[in-house]
């Protein structure tokens, strides 16, 4: 019991670090969030927290929600499922949040989604992509389902880059598995292309040269290099050191300024499937980008933008429902149409709570992510119903 008490005390201290809104106010709309502020994913956690702070400030400057200020209560889950469960229970039972932004990775988000669903508290997952996150009427996903993103990567390889031979180097976890499933499903239906090499690497991998050597032997036109920025960036750097000039494509896990910082010139020409277009001219996007850049002197990423959208979707649903009642807010979320988000115009959600919106494709040019293409094909961007 003493150990548990100490942990909750630590969690409370961490909450103060990332807390924003009207501090300790008695009459606020409380929205909870978990993000990996420490540990291996700390850069993503920083982006999530700082981006949602911008959203909170915007909402409160506009008068808040239903005449009340919004209070964001954020805890550090360190991308650890065990911590996320304890902290989710605190948000539900002690903090009494009315909605929740899941700003962490798939494992911790999967661990808590049922808790919020059973409590009747609407949850929007910012960017975690495992299918088991959306498990009930109260759970929604603003990021892409892993299979959707995988199909987007395959579409990019086959249709945009005209690849005939494709190699896969993917992370051996939930993230890599669901991406690969979507990628393989697309290629199976397009016989003009084939997968000539498929390798998996563990989360702890740092030396990618053996994988790159085996890939090189298969002589592919394109390599789908799936992983987080701390995996993709070193792999790109090592590929350059080996003199490999094959076109690499990746996905949202690499959508971080850290990818370019770590890989350096090796990142040039890297193509990435994601949901944030830095060249999107819409005011909502450019205002956010300008604010983030001014505050932090670094480039924003899709993780932060996705969390911003997750928070704003919940606020929009409360305004539409004219209440913070969980069932009414969840219904308003389910009925969301043509919402003008940072990560694209959200066409709506499937009955399973999966987002429907265009897939953005970015390319690194002169050390910055730029627009390369956008995928709008309904067959690609619309998640299939379970079992289909």
Cross-strand partners of 140: 124
Of the candidates 160, 153, 162, 203, the residue with the CA atom closest to the CA atom of residue 182: 153
* Structure confidence by residue, pLDDT tens digits, 291-306: 999 999 999 999 999 9
User: 3-class SS at 363?
Assistant: strand
User: 3-class SS at 174?
Assistant: helix
Task: Give the pLDDT confidence score for residue 385 in this predicted structure.
Answer: 74
Task: Give the pLDDT confidence score for residue 7 in this predicted structure.
Answer: 36
Contacts of 99 (CB under 8 A, 6+ apart): 31, 32, 121, 122, 123, 124, 314, 318, 324, 326, 329
Checking if the pLDDT of 22 tops 80, the result is no
146-274+360-381 has which fold?
Rossmann fold (3.40.50)
DSSP conformational letter for 253: G
Q: How far apart are CA 131 and CA 106, in angstroms?
A: 9
Mean pLDDT of the region 72-94: 98
Q: How far apart are CA 37 and CA 150, in angstroms?
A: 27
Of the candidates 302, 333, 306, the residue with the CA atom closest to the CA atom of residue 229: 302
Mean pLDDT of the region 232-258: 96
Cross-strand partners of 370: 363
Residue for token digits 């975690």? 128
* Structure confidence by residue, pLDDT tens digits, 331-373: 999 999 999 999 999 999 999 999 999 999 999 999 999 999 9
Mean pLDDT of the region 227-242: 97
Checking if the pLDDT of 40 tops 60, the result is yes
Which CATH class, in words, describes the domain spanning 2-143+282-357?
alpha beta
- Weakest-pLDDT range from 24-33, 82-91, 144-153: 24-33
Mean pLDDT of the region 278-296: 97
Q: How far apart are CA 93 and CA 283, in angstroms?
A: 38
pTM metric for this prediction: 0.89
Task: Give the pLDDT confidence score for residue 173 in this predicted structure.
Answer: 87
| Band of residue 3 on the pLDDT scale cut at 50, 70, 90 | very low
Show the tokens assigned to 98. 């009315």
DSSP conformational letter for 65: B
Q: How far apart are CA 235 and CA 94, in angstroms?
A: 44
Checking if the pLDDT of 2 tops 50, the result is no
| Band of residue 16 on the pLDDT scale cut at 50, 70, 90 | very low
Cα 283 to Cα 265, 280, 286, 288: the distances in Å are 31, 9, 5, 8
- Give pairs for 286-292: CB < 8 Å, separation 24+: 288/51, 288/54, 288/342, 291/54, 292/50, 292/51, 292/54
Give domain limits for the chain.
2-143+282-357, 146-274+360-381
User: 3-class SS at 236?
Assistant: helix
Checking if the pLDDT of 14 tops 90, the result is no
Average pLDDT, rounded, for the chain: 93
Domains 2-143+282-357 and 146-274+360-381 are alike in CATH topology = yes
Mean pLDDT of the region 298-327: 97
Cα 94 to Cα 73, 90, 132, 149: the distances in Å are 11, 5, 26, 36
Contacts of 280 (CB under 8 A, 6+ apart): 286, 344, 371
- Weakest-pLDDT range from 10-19, 125-134, 198-207, 325-334: 10-19
Q: Is 288 exposed, middle or buried (0-12, 13-18, 19+ CB in 10 A)?
A: buried
């Amino acid at each position: 019991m003493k150990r548990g008490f100490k942990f909750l005390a630590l969690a409370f201290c961490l909450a103060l670090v990332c807390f924003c809104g009207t501090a300790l106010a008695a009459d606020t709309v409380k929205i909870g969030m978990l993000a990996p502020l420490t540990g291996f994913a700390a850069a993503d956690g920083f982006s999530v927290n700082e981006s949602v702070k911008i959203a909170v400030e915007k909402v409160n400057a506009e008068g808040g929600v239903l005449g009340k200020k919004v209070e964001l209560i954020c805890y550090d889950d360190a991308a650890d499922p065990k911590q996320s469960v304890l902290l989710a229970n605190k948000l539900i039972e002690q903090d009494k949040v009315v909605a929740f932004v899941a700003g962490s990775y798939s494992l911790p988000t999967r661990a808590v989604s049922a808790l919020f669903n059973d409590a009747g508290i609407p949850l929007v997952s910012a960017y975690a992509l495992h299918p088991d996150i959306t498990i009930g009427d109260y759970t929604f996903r603003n990021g892409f389902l892993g299979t959707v993103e995988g199909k987007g990567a395959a579409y990019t390889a086959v249709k945009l880059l005209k690849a005939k031979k494709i190699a896969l180097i993917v992370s051996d976890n939930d993230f890599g598995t669901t991406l690969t499933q979507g990628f393989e499903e697309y290629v199976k239906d397009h016989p003009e292309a084939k997968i000539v090499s498929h390798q998996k690497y563990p989360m702890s991998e740092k030396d990618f040269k053996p994988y790159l050597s085996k890939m090189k032997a298969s002589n592919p036109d394109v390599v789908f290099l799936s992983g987080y920025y701390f995996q993709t960036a070193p792999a790109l750097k090592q590929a350059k050191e080996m003199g490999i000039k094959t076109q690499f494509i990746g996905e949202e896990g690499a959508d971080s300024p850290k990818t370019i910082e770590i890989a350096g010139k090796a990142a040039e020409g890297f193509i990435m499937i994601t949901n944030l277009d830095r060249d999107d001219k819409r005011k909502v996007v450019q205002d956010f980008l300008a604010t983030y850049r001014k505050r932090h002197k670094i480039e924003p990423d899709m993780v932060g933008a996705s969390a911003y959208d997750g928070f704003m979707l919940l606020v929009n649903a409360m305004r539409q429902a004219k209440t913070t009642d969980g069932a009414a807010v969840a219904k308003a979320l389910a009925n969301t149409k043509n919402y003008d988000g940072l990560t694209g115009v959200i066409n709506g959600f499937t009955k399973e709570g999966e987002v429907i919106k265009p897939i953005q494709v970015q390319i690194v040019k002169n050390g910055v992510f730029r627009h390369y293409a956008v995928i709008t094909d309904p067959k690609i961007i619309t998640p299939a119903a379970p079992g289909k």
